[in-house]
Structure 1
Amino acid sequence: MKITAAQSSDLSKLLAFREEAAAWLRELGSDQWSRPYPADRLLATIEAGTVFMVRDGPATAATITLTADAEQGLWTAQELSEPSLFINKLTVARTHAGQDLGGRLLDWAGDRAYRVGAEWLRLDAWTTNEALQRYYIRQGFEHVRTVREGGAVNGGPRVSGWLAQRPARPSSHGLVDETAGPSVGRAVTAKDDQ
């Protein structure tokens, strides 16, 4: 399997991919990703070079967004001063479930973070999806805290505020990396806030 940067022509595939994941989550009783993701926002992240796809021949097996930009209101000023990369929207196709592809993608992201000089690989997960939270703990992440207020709409409840991190580290993830090198969106340094 190979990992590539997503292209704007992948937009409809990625939107359908997310809907497949949302339907599966609904079957499990989770409200995660129950609202459709705005196509223009997804296109902007693709064009920024932060969306990556795992391809297994012609099939899309998984996707991940990896960025140097933290979602506003989640991390403290001290945490933001530490070089970090943030993962979002990690999704594995149901056809490829059970193969530890998510774990391999997390290892790829941690390796990439290490290569750009990041200290941490960080994420925010759905606050009510305890199975997902346990998954990240099993993958070596440490729960930092859960932020429940300050959501995108009128500062209301936040649905994705379970924060976790693990050190960035080199890894043998086994994916053929066909991306354009170690930069992710922009260079990662502790001086970004200065």
Structure 2
Amino acid sequence: MRSAAPGDAENVAAMLLARCRWLEQRGLPTWRDSVEDIAGQTANVPGAMWLLEAANGRVLGCTTVLESAPPWGWTPQEFAEPSLYLYTTATDPAFRAFRPGALIAWWAVDRAAREGFSWVRRGCLFEELGHYYKEQGFDLVHEVQRTRHRVLLFARRAEPVAGLREMFVRPAAVAKELTGTRQPPGAGR
């Protein structure tokens, strides 16, 4: 994982468009109308958007990381707790077998623990995606009605993730080991 830079926008857009095509082939909603805006987040403050990148430089995924959740949907106590919030996490569907979304999530959980945050939080609109978040060890905390959409809000305690470095080095072997698990090997939930 590395911090995105403005020069990454084209590669991020290509990855997002690949994800959009994959979703459209399955009749699912996409970010197609927002690809340019999301890819443009590479120009935000350094450290806001992060990239999962292959050794050859191909962008396999991205996420935007902020230091708090949105002010709606969380109790005042939850909102006051130090947390990282993941926005617009997306991955290249050509690499689904390696579970890049889980790798990004576990990186965030480990990073949050190293930096003194208590939680990693995220939200989504679709139950199917929520099930994937649960497989990554996140718990559904709240369901909030926002205008026309019901938003599912998830949280996971920040903690060191055992074996994280190896997961980045040997993704194929680790992905095989992780099939059907709720958390990475050795995680102390």
TM-score by length of 1: 0.75
Mapped partners of 2:97, 2:117: distance in 1 = 29
Q: Which residue is equivalent to 2:74?
A: 75
Q: Which residue is equivalent to 2:64?
A: 65
Question: Does the CA contact (< 8 Å) of 1:8 and 1:47 recur in 2?
Answer: no
User: 1:41: how far off?
Assistant: 8.3
Question: Does the CA contact (< 8 Å) of 2:109 and 2:157 recur in 1?
Answer: yes
User: 1:157: how far off?
Assistant: 1.9
Summarize the alignment of residues 110-129 of structure 1 with structure 2, pairs less than 5 Å apart: 110-125=109-124, 127=125, 129=126
User: 1:54: how far off?
Assistant: 1.4
Runs of 4+ in 1 over 6 A off after TM superposition: none
Q: Secondary structure at the match of 1:49?
A: coil
Query: Cα deviation per residue 1:86-140 (whole Å; 9 max; x = unaligned)?
Result: 1112222122111122212111100000111111111011x2x222111111111
**Same amino acid, percent of matched pairs:** 25
Q: Which residue is equivalent to 2:141?
A: 144
Q: Alignment partner for residue 21 of structure 1, among 19, 22, 36?
A: 19
Q: Which residue is equivalent to 1:51?
A: 49
Question: Does the CA contact (< 8 Å) of 1:11 and 1:39 recur in 2?
Answer: no
The count of residues paired between Structure 1 and Structure 2 equals 165
Q: Aligned in 2, Cα 1:78/1:41: closer, same or farther, shift over 3 Å?
A: farther
Query: Cα deviation per residue 1:15-40 (whole Å; 9 max; x = unaligned)?
Result: 23222212212222221425324538
Summarize the alignment of residues 170-181 of structure 1 with structure 2, pairs less than 5 Å apart: 170-171=160-161, 172-174=163-165, 175=168
Q: Alignment partner for residue 166 of structure 1, among 151, 156, 159?
A: 156
Indicate the larger mover: 32-41 or 91-100.
32-41
Q: Aligned in 2, Cα 1:30/1:104: closer, same or farther, shift over 3 Å?
A: same
User: 1:158: how far off?
Assistant: 3.5
Whether 1:12 aligns to 2:10 is yes
Q: Secondary structure at the match of 1:43?
A: helix
Mapped partners of 2:78, 2:39: distance in 1 = 26
Q: Alignment partner for residue 148 of structure 2, among 151, 157, 169?
A: 157
TM-score by length of 2: 0.77
User: 1:45: how far off?
Assistant: 6.2
| Letter aligned with residue 55 of structure 1 | E
Q: Aligned in 2, Cα 1:90/1:99: closer, same or farther, shift over 3 Å?
A: same
Q: Secondary structure at the match of 1:122?
A: strand
Q: Secondary structure at the match of 1:98?
A: helix
Choose between structure 1 and 2 for higher RCO, CA contacts under 8 A separated by at least 6 residues: 1
